[in-house]
Structure 1
Amino acid sequence: MFIDIDEVLASVAQATEPIERIKRVGDALIEVKHLTAELGRVRREEIEGLIADGMAQNEIGRKIGLTSARMSQLLSSGPAPERAFFGAKAQPVIVAVGQKLEADKAKPGPVVSTNDMEAYDKLRDLVEDLGLKSTYEVIKPPGSVRLNRDGLVIICGPRLSPLIAQILEVDDRLGFAKDDEGWHLVDQAAGITYRSPEDIDESGDIAYFGRLPRPDGKGSFLYIAGIHAAGAAGVVHYLRHELPTLYREVRTRRFSMLISCRYDPETQEIISSERITPIYKHEV
């Protein structure tokens, strides 16, 4: 993304009212701020990559005309490279959470589980730590959601959304399945079935996490879903601890994996999380 200065100034000048001109200036400044942050992130990521390859920080500084002090400042204060995991064009990150109908009610209404709300709250904190903003929306029954948007994160099981269930079929390594014992996850590549610890009265769950293609073919979205509700919060717990490592592995490419988590049975707070499958990369 590059900003055409002449085009921006012309747009401001074309506004006939002072209030409208002020609004257009404000919108342009937001774009400039976001572009500045993203360019700073790219620069920091490239510098860190050169250092990882063995080039000395001082040598890099000499080649790009920066002092050692300025180089240290860039590496310590610039936007974290993993910020791009949620989409460089994403401002804000959109987190869409699935609703389900209340059980055992004469007139059931739609509700969002407390675990899914915990997942959103922790995810919001994470993206804010990366210098991004987030918004929240619900996916109402029967699970329709507009997927063709930048910066989209979906927290919604396939049982709540036939649309999501169809998109998941593009993943030929991992996926959800259902049999007489209930919903579970399958690693088709390894031939392993994973069932939730909750189904044997243990305080844990397993979740699918990946980046899936948008229907319009112009991008992708992040997808999180547990066998039960706790799994989604487990994925966010994993991201809070492992995002830099995961980003170095997959960047913004499509992938999928399974995450196992444990939670406190009293508070439902996630206490541990770990990856239990390989990170399956869907793109070379």
Structure 2
Amino acid sequence: MPPGNVERIAAIEDPFQLLRVATERLNAAQQEVGELSRLRRRVIQELHAQGLSYAQIAKEAGLTRGRIHQIRHTGPAPEGAFLGTGTITLVTPLKREATNARPVVAMEDVTAAKRLEDLARGFDLPVELEHVPLGGEIDINRSNLIVICGPRLSTVMGALYESDPVLEWVKDDVWTLRDSRTGMVYRSGSDSEPPRAVDYAYLGRLGRPDGNGNLLVFTGIHPQGTLGVVQLLQTEIATLWGQVGDKRFSTVVGVEYDPATGEPVKAELAGPLYRHEED
């Protein structure tokens, strides 16, 4: 925090306002320190992957080799930036209860959000939770946004998915995902005959409508697919980060699940991982 800010805060006469402002600035400073630590560790990893030794990196950076090693192995992992930087807003949809029309959150969405929140906090990323309200209106022109919602529950999200240059949601007798490049159609096993304990999900980072950034979005054709995406992120986030970084992309995730519990048994990419900048 610049000295001027400290002096300005110290000059606040109301003690309660001083406490509030000081706490807010301290939280912001701690968040900035975390992101700078993540960025520093990421640069060292990238330079080393390009063939530079830690000794060479240390010499050019004006640090000791031991300090470079210490930075390389401490602090938030760089792949956490796949989810975002700073405070993440994680959004799940409200649905209308069948019996009395009350707004409720599906248990699978609660579970998926809790697991993703735990993953984010493991990367030292604060998380705030929100819901897509009934009717589907949501402001997606915000930074560090992750939305777990499909086109059925939100026309806003439906329009966002339509911006994908390769993958599309198709509604005929049931919802499916279609790869316009390969012609492949992904249909949930529960909507097939005979039924199978397999689901598919969309995972992507798409551009905000206002053109000022991106947001991470995912959802299964059915809830089992949503849980499968979270499992994939838990196990393969470093690989995904290495492949797409913080750039726009989309892919279809295939999920095998336990038919008795709905819990994912296996989650993996079912098709190509498309980098949208290459289109």
TM-score (norm 2): 0.93
Deviation at 1:139, TM superposition (A): 1.3
CA contact (8 A) 2:165 2:276 kept: no
SS of residue paired to 2:175: strand
Count of residue pairs the alignment pairs up: 276
Partner letter of residue 187 of structure 2?
A: R
Partner letter of residue 233 of structure 1?
A: L
Match in the other structure for 1:124:
117
Deviation at 1:14, TM superposition (A): 5.0
Distance 1:187 1:258 in 2: 9
SS of residue paired to 1:283: helix
Matched, 1:63 2:60: yes
CA contact (8 A) 1:175 1:208 kept: no
Q: Rate the CA distance shift 1:189–1:137 in 2: closer, same or farther, 3 A.
A: same
Matched, 1:96 2:88: no
Deviation at 1:10, TM superposition (A): 5.0
Partner letter of residue 125 of structure 2?
A: L
Distance 1:140 1:20 in 2: 33
Match in the other structure for 1:149:
142
Q: Is 197-206 or 126-135 further displaced after alignment?
A: 197-206
Deviation at 1:268, TM superposition (A): 2.0
Distance 2:254 2:8 in 1: 51
Match in the other structure for 1:196:
188
Partner letter of residue 87 of structure 1?
A: G
Alignment equivalent of 1:44, drawn from 21, 36, 41: 41
Runs of 4+ in 1 over 6 A off after TM superposition: none
Match in the other structure for 2:166:
173
Distance 2:40 2:233 in 1: 23
Distance 1:23 1:101 in 2: 38
Match in the other structure for 1:278:
272
Match in the other structure for 1:32:
29
Matches within 5 A, 1:225-244: 225-244=219-238
Q: Is 252-261 or 78-87 further displaced after alignment?
A: 78-87
Q: Rate the CA distance shift 1:24–1:113 in 2: closer, same or farther, 3 A.
A: same
Matched, 1:222 2:219: no
Q: Is 136-145 or 120-129 further displaced after alignment?
A: 136-145
Q: Is 93-102 or 108-117 further displaced after alignment?
A: 108-117
CA contact (8 A) 2:228 2:266 kept: yes
CA contact (8 A) 1:116 1:230 kept: no
CA offsets 1:185-226 (integer angstroms, 9 cap, x no match): 000111111101121322221000111122222111111111
Alignment equivalent of 2:263, drawn from 266, 269, 277: 269
Distance 1:143 1:130 in 2: 30
CA contact (8 A) 1:231 1:261 kept: yes
Q: Extract unaligned runs of 5+ from structure 1.
A: none
Matched, 1:186 2:170: no
TM-score (norm 1): 0.92
Q: Is 135-144 or 251-260 further displaced after alignment?
A: 135-144
